[in-house]
Amino acid sequence: MRININRLKQDIETLGKIGYKEGKGITREAFTDAYAQGEAFVSRQMQSIGLAVRKDGLGNLYGRLKGEEGNPAILVGSHIDTVPGGGKFDGAYGVLAAIECLRTIKENGIKPFYDIEVIVFNAEEGEILGGTFGSRGLVGRVNFDDPAMEKLLLKLGLDPQAAKRTKLDSENTKCYLELHIEQGGVLEESSIPIGIVTGIVHTMRFKISVEGAANHAGTTPMQARDDALVKASRLINWVHDFSLEKGEGFVGTVGKIRVLPGAINVIPGEVHLYIEFRCIDEEKLRRAGMEIRDFARQLAKTKIRYVKKNRGISLNKRLQKMIENSCRELDLAYKYMPSGAGHDAASMGQVVPSAMIFIPSVGGISHNKDELSRWDDVEHGANVLLHTLLSLQTNPDQVLSGADGHC
Ligand SMILES: [Zn+2]
């Protein structure tokens, strides 16, 4: 059984016109008119194949295909909101491919064993609500008791009480699957059409303040200087070389820096910089944290503060194996890889067995109007999703062994 790429392509193109501006890409942020239009389109597509459509208190949209009575549901989806000036594949692909899979299953006269429900998570990109809002809310990772959150939700047109009450029925959820573009260049570079996502990386951030001595830039001789920025630049280079040395799957970035007093004729007396490390291996990350402290301390008088640590998640191994089997059935090459970006699957994986499938992004470009994936790859990814859904149906006894993740 195969999906119909022409139908899927048409859906992606149609949704891709909503919020699109020539030369500027797609701006379809959650809680906007463009988003409502996008949702209406997706909801019509769901209804046209007879799915039962509903919305929850968090603004997540669902379309359910009934299986046999009393069985749990398989959730499959992604998001349809975009960053300002985004592309037509990020998120939308996962939602529309899921609908195309159900369309294919229906037209082949298959009545599923489990319910299969397409889910469109609200405000995945949503800066204002902190990203992956719909999925975090569903698994109880949004603090709805915060008065600021309550105010914000009212302003956005969501009922805070209804949002707070909305929870995933994890007892009646078999698993969650998400098909997504890679948003990086690993698959394209290795000419592999399918990525099987092992997990979502952990993130560790530090703020480091490097102290020096501010002084007159004209009257202070070179050998008498204690230039905080010169020392900080050694630290920046160290982060880059250190991360490069760690090899594939480890990244380190200094993306934000502040120089004080910040005047053209004053030797920098103080520099604040932010360092971010990401890696799927938590132990590696912990050691990196210790090494950066050591290096910074011997370099200069520094203050080091942990800013944030986001625990990533390991995705379900049994589901990864099933995706691999689907690739074999379809004769497609695959690669096991972590995701460097966050996704709704990171929330869902904390509560139910979850998995993700990646397809290549041309040039590794995403969150950009030039984001692109090849139609061949779009087709392959959707077929892998279809076969995985089918094998979950035909092997109903398999135990997925609970959520593999943690928070
Ligand atoms: Zn996305």
The pLDDT value recorded for residue 406 is 35
Span from the CA of 329 to the centroid of ligand 1 (angstroms):
27
The pLDDT value recorded for residue 312 is 85
Residue pair 118/98 in contact (Cβ under 8 Å)? The answer is: yes
What topology is assigned to 5-200+312-394 in CATH?
Aminopeptidase (3.40.630)
Whether the upstream peptide bond of residue 261 has omega within 30° of 0, thus cis, is yes
Instruction: Dig out the tokens for 351 from the structure.
Output: 């509560």
In tens, the pLDDT along 131-177 reads 899 999 999 999 999 999 999 999 999 999 999 999 999 999 999 99
Name residues of the chain where pLDDT drops below 70: 127, 395-399, 401-407
Among 390, 406, 393, 388, CA closest to 318: 388
Span from the CA of 94 to the centroid of ligand 1 (angstroms):
9
Calpha distance 271→178 (Å, rounded): 42
Calpha distance 186→201 (Å, rounded): 15
Span from the CA of 310 to the centroid of ligand 1 (angstroms):
18
Span from the CA of 97 to the centroid of ligand 1 (angstroms):
14
The pLDDT value recorded for residue 106 is 96
Determine the longest span between alpha carbons in the chain, in angstroms: 85
Span from the CA of 343 to the centroid of ligand 1 (angstroms):
6
Strand partners, 208: 273, 304
Span from the CA of 285 to the centroid of ligand 1 (angstroms):
25
Count other C-beta atoms under 10 Å from residue 215's C-beta.
Answer: 16
Span from the CA of 385 to the centroid of ligand 1 (angstroms):
17
Span from the CA of 68 to the centroid of ligand 1 (angstroms):
31
Domain range summary for the chain, segments of one domain joined by +: 5-200+312-394, 202-310
Q: If you write DSSP's letter for every residue of 9-49 in order, what string do you get?
A: HHHHHHHHHTTEETTTEE---TTSHHHHHHHHHHHHHHHHT
Span from the CA of 82 to the centroid of ligand 1 (angstroms):
8
Span from the CA of 297 to the centroid of ligand 1 (angstroms):
39
Protein residues near ligand 1, an ion, with CB under 5 A = 90-91
Span from the CA of 80 to the centroid of ligand 1 (angstroms):
8
Span from the CA of 90 to the centroid of ligand 1 (angstroms):
5
Residue pair 105/192 in contact (Cβ under 8 Å)? The answer is: no
- The answer regarding whether domain 202-310 maps to CATH 3.30.70.360 reads yes
The pLDDT value recorded for residue 403 is 52
Coil/strand/helix, residue 2: coil
In tens, the pLDDT along 336-371 reads 999 988 899 999 999 999 999 999 999 999 889 999
Instruction: Answer yes or no: same fold for 5-200+312-394 and 202-310.
Output: no
Span from the CA of 283 to the centroid of ligand 1 (angstroms):
27
Calpha distance 247→63 (Å, rounded): 42
